[in-house]
């Protein structure tokens, strides 16, 4: 499995199946031919950053974890502000406890990247559509995931809320991390605020989050059934895959008339299926209604 696939799987393990790719903003490999292997040109302004990005890309594509860590360490040696390299090292740590200091270093490096680009993570939406903020956003999301894995849910929620405030486009899937953590910890007040902030979202995926929130609040009540009916009307395949996760998908996806709904169902299941299973009576409730 490539490191790129491994990174997606790591986020999936911490976030109940994360299909939202945390983007790595990197320079493509042609720079490697320009910079050479000695690293001497990396001493020039701006070229160290480019060479580190090339090493990050190679680490992302590496099949072997040790090779990925070696390349990430090289990137850090060339550019200490390479947040993505620290993120790779954190991904390959033995445990969340070992990953935590690396996540913190990634965030500090991401903050320096912002300063280098003249960006300030202060106002609402201040990092929306800012490509140079990619490393910082990824690092803060990874730190939040790590803290959540360590049981420090309150701290993780603060990081995800901060990401949502800074980047309205939510490139790192902060709202799903936040919803997942709040559902597991039964923080209904946090879920209410999150659902209110995204009240414009009428996707099936988000409507099922709302339905599960109402079920947590009041069980099989009228309000929960109403929310579930609204979610089913938007995408019934999400309920089907939650109730029967082992069902076989169509052999010919291109010919599937419900392709978009099916992809959304897979997306929701990867994020939230473990939570539906963990909440007592939730899956049976889906079967019943």
> What is the tens place of the pLDDT at every residue in 30-63?
334 334 444 444 455 578 889 999 999 999 999 8
Q: What pTM was estimated for this model as a whole?
A: 0.79
Query: What's 117's DSSP letter?
Result: T
Query: What's 63's DSSP letter?
Result: S
The third-level CATH classification (topology) of the domain covering 1-200 is 1.25.40
Q: How many CB atoms lie within 10 A of CB 70?
A: 15
Q: Which residues of the chain have pLDDT under 50?
A: 8-10, 12-42
Q: Give the contacts of 15 (CB within 8 A, at least 6 positions apart).
A: 145, 173, 176, 177, 180, 271
Q: How many CB atoms lie within 10 A of CB 281?
A: 11
pLDDT digits 0-9 by tens, 89-100: 999 999 999 999
Task: Give the CB-side neighbour count of residue 185, counting CA atoms within 13 A.
Answer: 19
Domain boundaries, the chain: 1-200, 203-289
């Amino acid at each position: 499995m490539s490191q790129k696939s491994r990174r997606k799987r790591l986020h999936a393990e911490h976030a109940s199946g994360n299909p939202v790719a945390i983007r790595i903003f990197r320079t493509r490999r042609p720079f490697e031919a320009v910079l050479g292997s000695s690293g001497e040109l990396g001493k020039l302004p701006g070229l160290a950053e480019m060479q580190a990005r090339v090493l990050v890309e190679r680490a992302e594509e590496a099949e072997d974890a040790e090779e990925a860590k070696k390349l990430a360490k090289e990137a850090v040696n060339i550019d200490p502000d390479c947040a993505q390299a620290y993120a790779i090292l954190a991904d390959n740590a033995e445990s969340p406890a070992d990953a935590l200091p690396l996540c913190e270093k990634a965030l500090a490096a991401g903050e320096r990247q912002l300063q280098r680009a003249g960006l300030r993570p202060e106002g609402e939406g201040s990092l929306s559509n800012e490509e140079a903020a990619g490393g910082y956003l990824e690092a803060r999301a990874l730190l939040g995931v790590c803290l959540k894995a360590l049981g420090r849910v309150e701290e993780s929620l603060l990081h995800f809320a901060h990401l949502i405030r800074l980047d309205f486009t939510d490139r790192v899937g902060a709202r799903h991390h936040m919803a997942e953590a709040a559902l597991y910890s039964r923080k209904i007040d946090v879920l209410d605020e999150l659902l209110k902030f995204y009240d414009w979202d009428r996707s099936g995926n988000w409507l099922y989050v709302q339905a599960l929130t109402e079920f947590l609040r009041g069980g099989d009540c009228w309000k929960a059934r109403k929310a579930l009916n609204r979610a089913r009307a938007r995408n019934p395949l999400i309920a089907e895959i939650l109730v029967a996760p082992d069902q076989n998908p169509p052999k010919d996806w291109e010919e599937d008339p419900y392709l978009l709904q099916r992809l959304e169902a897979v997306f929701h299941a990867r994020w939230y299926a473990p939570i539906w299973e963990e909440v007592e009576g939730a899956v049976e409730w889906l079967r019943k209604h």
